[in-house]
Structure 1
Amino acid sequence: MTTSQTDPMIGRLIDGRYQVRSRIARGGMATVYLATDLRLERRVAIKVMHGHLADDNTFKSRFVQEARSAARLAHPNVVNVFDQGQDSDMAYLVMEYLPGITLRDLLKDYGKLTPEQTIDIMEAVLSGLAAAHKAGIVHRDLKPENVLLADDGRIKIGDFGLARAASANTATGQALLGTIAYLSPELVTRGVADARSDIYALGIMMYEMLTGEQPFQGEQPMQIAYQHANDTVPTPSSKNPAVPPELDEIVLWATAKDPDHRPKDAREMLDRVIEAEKSIRGETAPFQQTMVMPPALGAGLGDADTQIINPAIRQQVAASAPDNVSRLTRTAEKRRAKGWWLFILVLLLAGVAGGTGWYFGSGPGSMVAIPDVSAKAPDAAATTLKNLGFETKQGAAYSTTIAKGLVASTDPAAGAHANRGSTVTINVSQGPRPIQVPKLAGLSQDTAIEQITGLKAVVGTVDKQFNATVPSGTVISASSADGKDLSNGGPYFEGMKVNLVVSVGAIPNVKGSSVNDATAKLTAVGLHTTPGPQSYSDTVPKDAVISAIPQKDGPVRPGDTLALEVSRGPAPVPVPDVVGKTWDVAKKALLDAGFKLNYDATADPFQAIVKVAKTDPAGGIDAPKGSTVTVTFQSLFG
């Protein structure tokens, strides 16, 4: 007895309109049937959600989302959706019926495709996907099973069951969706998808079409997921030397681990594929348009997991391609030789696929995104995780951002996916990690910064100051944000700020310089000048700078202003009154007062008996120190 004969849906009239004829395919979420639309008298494919999922609002929402997503698209390379509704407790979706095969069927029969065949299929898929991306829709489950090859030559994308609006591409906290072999690194690690995630899946599909195998393989799904997150996709030509470099470049571009390094959407990738096609067709001998060859009709394909259309198909074949006709004939002969044991093998594979789907879809192997419970109390975090099916244990972690006693992080981290029933470690914050700061005073600024950041502390303010004893670029002192002196090192904490005071050298010595020269010297080191007081000076010439005076208390920093004190020359003092005094007494008094003398030198031998008649300036008159006093004597014999 066939599956169709035992399926209670066969013969059922859905919603008074759709007469179910036969089953086409069964997947993890729904079964697809061939039906007749009695109102419009046409054949349709009707997807019916599994009964055990009908009460799950999440699956029902996803089912309805497929209808809405696909219904927004009107493109020849996208499967049309005609209707969506509910009959009693049964949710259904009505689509156009396309007799044909899937890309997966084609790859099973031929292993790998030629570059020309790959380009033809990719152009069709990218055209349909470009329309989706332009409408703001991300497919999120692109794989060969969802690329339909109709027997009239059309190529269409189907199964938008995981599609979401591009504006809502954030992690949902639900199990990771999509077939693991085509998941982008960001979907594996963070559960986040956008148009570039679809591009990654297409890059993997393109690699598989060109080489006949997937780039990442493993015995367990998590092994494959790990490779997607950490490894680089190799060039297809490393497996198949016939692949031209233009297609190597497109595959590597589409499968870049960083989404920013991929095409931004399907339209950008389509443009590159078209350019590659022109280059490849220009470099090779002329050939006819590539025709995708279908497999012969095989048993058991009605139970394939993601099958959307009837596997009884045919593909247009160019009459001028005798090698392809010969290949099809050989394939049909091989299928007939396989006989009944192929049917048994397909049934076994379907059983394994069904069991695997249950284990990872709703069984103990299903994966759930770890929620962000940071900054919560440990008990509240444990309750949140247990409600999602996780076991918990407590750990400890230092944190510079989470207060002591609250949850700092989890292991696995928030956003990662883990199996229900697995253990999540809740790391409770111990506050910042203690560190020992080394002596910083006397180090160069660069060395001090390396020491600070090497301890995972943070460099705070760097105060530049003039210092006459500490060389330029050398740390004068260091302190914590709360003022603790760290110049000679001491205990501190990770993530805390260390403030530095760094010398810019001594203030230039401008004593004795002209005002213009002094201003130029000080401006060269970032200081400003302003006129200052004028003072008498016995040592600094008149109009020269005596000193540069800071205009505020404390250290001098670049950008500060100094007032220039200018010399008025020596201060004036009274000329001693020496008239009538002997020359020896008068001479000493005038010299001691700081004056120079102008006198008749013949008086020197007779100092003790020569008297001063007058001085110019006269005694008691103020005259600058260092100025000359003229002395007149009385006659030696007067």
Structure 2
Amino acid sequence: MDTSLHDSLLGRTLDGRYRVEQRVASGGMATVYRGLDLRLDRVVALKVMHPQFAADPEFVERFIREAKAVARLSHPNVVNVFDQGEDRTAEPPAVFLAMEYVPGWTLRDLLRERGALSVRTTLDILEPVLAALGAAHRAGLVHRDVKPENVLLTEDGRVKVADFGLVRAVDAHTAATTQQVLGTVSYLAPEQIERGAADPRTDVYAAGVVLYEMLTGAKPYTGESPAQVIYRHLSEDVPPPSRLVPGVPHQLDAITQAATSRDPRHRPQDAVDLLAVLQQARRELTPAQLDAVPQRTGVPAAVPAVERTSVMPPLEGLTALPPDLVMPRREQPEPAPPAPRGPAAPARRPRWALPLGALVLVVALVAGLTWALNGGLYTRMPSVLNLPSARAVAQLQQAGLSVNTRQDFSETVAAGLVISSDPQPGARVRKDATVSIDVSRGPNRPAVPDVSGKTVAEATAALRAAGLAVGSSSQQQASDSVPAGRVVGTDPPAGRRLSPNSPVNLIVSSGSQPVDLPDVVGEPVDQATSDLQDAGFNVRLDPNQVYSDQDAGTIAAQSPNGSSAQRGATVTLTVSKGQEQVQVPDVGGMTEKQARRTLERAGFKVRAITVIPLGKPTVHNQSPGADSQAAKGSTVTLWLYP
């Protein structure tokens, strides 16, 4: 019966935005629909959690946290997560993800239709898968469920990886069929089975199993139950693909076995490392090796069909598979001739002995797996919130857990008490797992850093690095020790603890306080230098001396020449060469006007005395006398009479 006919979500609009149009696939955790984003008018894939999970607040919170982490991962080979939401307006409530809709096929569909793939096709698919996983690993994310069902092959030849991180949210409540479990445990690394540990190397292991499956058309481990597959993961090494397909190059044998090593320390550290060695192998292979059609020497055990969980439409057939992603259909090899008869076989054990032994082993493994998954290896995370750190650690260790303690600020929880834990209280956790607790450091009160002597730009950067802001009321202050333009101090002062982003004003030096400047004009050079240095100034002598009214060898001028200056400033002194001597013109017989003009042009001042103010007086005598030397700018006296 087509269950989609009775699907109550079909036709609904989730969160007032996403219209559910067609059921695409169903898995153990969620059902995938094709939908329409009514706001942006684009087709999306809607992954809706099954009702039993949507009713579990702890599961929903973890589901949302993982979705947000994956949404930050932007890579062309990753199925994008657009949105996450909840719609509780109707029954059943819907908790969902809105994701990129990828029309095409899954790698599982391709393997089911084509069997083993050529080396070139295998590398063309696996390299973008590893590129996507590598980007996730370098961003701190682990996929945890790498398998062909989560590798999507688009109609235009692109490869995308789906369901990043969401498997982490699945716990013991997951209602999955045996075949669904088989589809996942076939790719589990031994440490995931034994300890629940997951890091980039567990994805590398799963990618190695996928590589084996693409090269051979079969999984390395099969069984009638999850317990049988798990036992083989823990006790057997993955064989080289060439054992089943002799034409597989030895480079890919080595890569497959390294990626699937049971000891994670012997695997590539993450998908980036595995991609590098895979690309190196491609460069070493010849075109004939890359394009060779695989021919298996044996037929693997039948693999149960796995329910599709990809975010793509159901297949109507595989006739339209992109030619660059698949190899030509292989002709079935002719059956091998019957083996020649040999000597009579020795007497065999009773027929019931082997099946009975196998049955006992399977029952034991299933019982052990059931015990592990239903409490034997797991416990519930104790609540240690608001407990002192030491008491919380002791309580968790008493429960068999290892503890990683972190420090964080809190405005509401007193210093030394537990703020939160990961996992949260009540969550299901392995008894030997490592859990984390965040211990309060009290309110975040950053201290004002000491920025004295720094430039304004350096002080601003230091304040921002401390979590504080620069105030708008900065001021200037004279300082004898801090150069002008640099910071003298702060308001509030260094060491004061403030709330985050509180403003701190900078006090900037305007230089030293002005002091009295001695007037040393007319003083001998040595005396002037001593007077200025005693007042706290530096002295510089101008190399060019000048004529002046000051005596030769004394100070003719100083710069600056005001009444005060900044302490430590440099005063430039100019030394006098004395008065300049020039020749006095002969103005005898000239009128006063003529004589005055002649003398002033020569640089002298004129004093005229008229003895008899009658007729037309002329110069009869002058002092200094004509053609004598006199100081330029000095006064020449004239006596005039008719």
Q: TM-score, normalised by structure 2?
A: 0.47
